[in-house]
Amino acid sequence: MRLVAPFATSFGAVHDRRIILVEAVADGVSGWGEVTAGEVPGYNSETTDTAWLIISDFIAPLLPGKELEKAEDFPAVVAHIRGHQMAKAGVENALWHAEAQLKGVPLSRLLGGTLSEIPCGVSLGIRENPAALVKQVDEEVRTGYQRIKLKIKPEKDLEYVRAVRKAHPQIRLSVDANSAYRLEDADHLKKLDEFDLLMVEQPLDWDDIYSHAKLQAQLRTAICLDECIQNAGHARAAIELNACRIMNIKLGRVGGHTEARRVQELCRESNVPAWCGGMLESGIGRAHNIAMSALPGFTLPGDVSASARYWREDIIEPAVTVSPQGTIRVPENPGLGFTVKRDLIERLTVRQRNWTANTTSDKLVNSR
């Protein structure tokens, strides 16, 4: 799927997404999940192709004919597989969607969600110059988004943030470095303090909680961890070490709804504000993000925004839309609350693998 516009972060730019969708057929219903791995291993160590391999060789073969009482029982089935959270999450979330349909309840309620509306922010990629970025911020603020996040990297930071802050003195503004800095850059990062940011997200290495604790002690601005938090244990370590004051929760990064709910619960007990991150998802991943964001621990606007910001035509119906107040309504109908456009998905499919109790098939559909 081609994004409406290329999206640039400190680890590279993406225009075309290659997305794995998982369909789990259980007791006559179809549950759908999305694997949120990127095309390159720049955000974390997974990619679309590593997830394809892990699901094909190690996860999917475990499931045909298996009796699972509830989706929550899935993590134990794949606990012997180390890492590969995004591959696992794609499958687990499909099972959650199936369970919600079988029980006739919205997925948000099955998860324990209480909000009927979620507050939304946007994440803006690195632009060619500050003026272009300011123009985009103007537009998003006019649309109603409650928080604007700017991607930054060395040489593309202070000047950009300064220009946006000058044009919009009052908005909730944050930045995301996707691990582009080192602890030795602390004096430089301290200059962000003057812009009254809600947070600086993941400034240091993707797997280095300890250095973030060292940095947080020197910054007035709150650090939010994204890449570093791969499970509830990491979240506990980060909170107890004061490595962050805000938490970004992503379904794929922590391995699915079961673990994401645990991280959320921990944040709530610890009074650490949390929000739902995004991975340039199609409508299926987006619908899962909306369901998760209804949990009470999600107290800050997430990176969950309208389908039209990403896709000319989304693969769910209706497309996700945002109110003039910058909120998304949590669906009240059973399951994800959106219809999956199977025809469009089939047209976009390049490769398909099926597992049933007796057979496996592999089909190259539309080589590109």
Written as one string, the DSSP assignment of 149-184 is EEE--TTSSHHHHHHHHHH-SSS-EEEE-TT---GG
Specify the stretch interacting with ligand OSB by CB under 6 A; choose among 26-34, 255-263, 276-284, 348-356: 276-284
- Does residue 303 bind ligand OSB (CB under 6 A)? yes
* Distance between CA atoms of residues 287 and 34, nearest Å: 10
CB 204 within 8 A of CB 178: no
CA-CA-CA-CA torsion sign (86, 45, 293, 16): negative
> For residues 298 and 324, is the Cβ–Cβ distance under 8 A?
no
Binding ligand OSB (rule: CB under 6 A), the pick from 280, 291, 292, 320 is 280
Helix, coil or strand: residue 333 = coil
Shortest approach of ligand OSB to residue 248 CB, angstroms? 7
Distance of CA 360 to the CA centre of its chain: 31
* Cβ neighbours for 85, distance < 8 A, ≥ 6 positions apart: 46, 230, 231, 252, 253, 254, 255, 256, 259
C-alpha of 264 from chain center = 14
Smaller CB separation from Mg ion, 108 or 178: 178
Q: How far is the CB of 269 from ligand OSB (least distance, A)?
A: 24
CB of 136 to Mg ion, least distance (A): 18
Judged by CB under 6 A, does residue 126 bind ligand OSB? Answer: no
Contact map string, positions 3 to 42, toward ligand OSB, x by CB under 6 A:
----------------------------------------
Nearer to ligand OSB, 72 or 156 (CB): 156
Closest CA to 95 of 20, 19, 21, 22: 22
- String of contacts with Mg ion for each residue 103-132, x by CB under 5 A: ------------------------------
Q: Which residue is nearest to Mg ion (CB)?
A: 226
H/E element holding 97? helix 85-103
Q: What is the C-alpha to C-alpha distance for residues 32 and 336, in angstroms, rounded to an integer?
A: 9
- Which run of H or E residues covers position 29? strand 29-35
How far apart are CB 360 and ligand OSB at their closest, in Å? Answer: 32
Type of residue numbered 216:
Q
Report the nearest approach of Mg ion to the CB of residue 202 (Å). 5
By CB under 5 A, name the one of 157, 176, 281, 314 that touches Mg ion. Answer: 176
Residues 211-230 contacting ligand OSB, CB under 6 A = 226
179 binds, among Mg ion, ligand OSB, none (CB under 5 to 8 A by kind): none
Name the residue nearer to Mg ion (CB basis): 26 or 161. 161
DSSP string, 213-267: HHHHTT-SSPEEESTT--SHHHHHHHHHTT--SEEEE-HHHHTSHHHHHHHHHHH
Asked if residue 303 binds Mg ion (CB under 5 A), the reply is no
Active site residue 250: yes
> Minimal distance in Å, beta carbon 100 to ligand OSB?
23
Instruction: Tell me the number of residues near ligand OSB by CB under 6 A.
Output: 10
Please say which residue, 203 or 256, places its beta carbon nearer to Mg ion: 203
Q: Is residue 43 a contact point for ligand OSB (CB under 6 A)?
A: yes
Helix 257-269, helix 283-293: angle, nearest 10: 30
Site membership for ligand OSB, residue 208 (CB under 6 A):
no
Stretch that binds ligand OSB, among 79-87, 271-279, 326-334, 339-347 (CB under 6 A): 271-279
Q: Which does 99 bind (CB under 5 to 8 A by kind): ligand OSB, Mg ion, none?
A: none
Q: Does 178 bind ligand OSB (CB under 6 A)?
A: yes
d(CA 42, CA 363): 29
Binding site for Mg ion (CB under 5 A): 176, 201, 226
Residues that bind ligand OSB (CB under 6 A): 43, 123, 176, 178, 226, 277-280, 303
Instruction: Give catalytic residues, as residue numbers.
Output: 151, 250
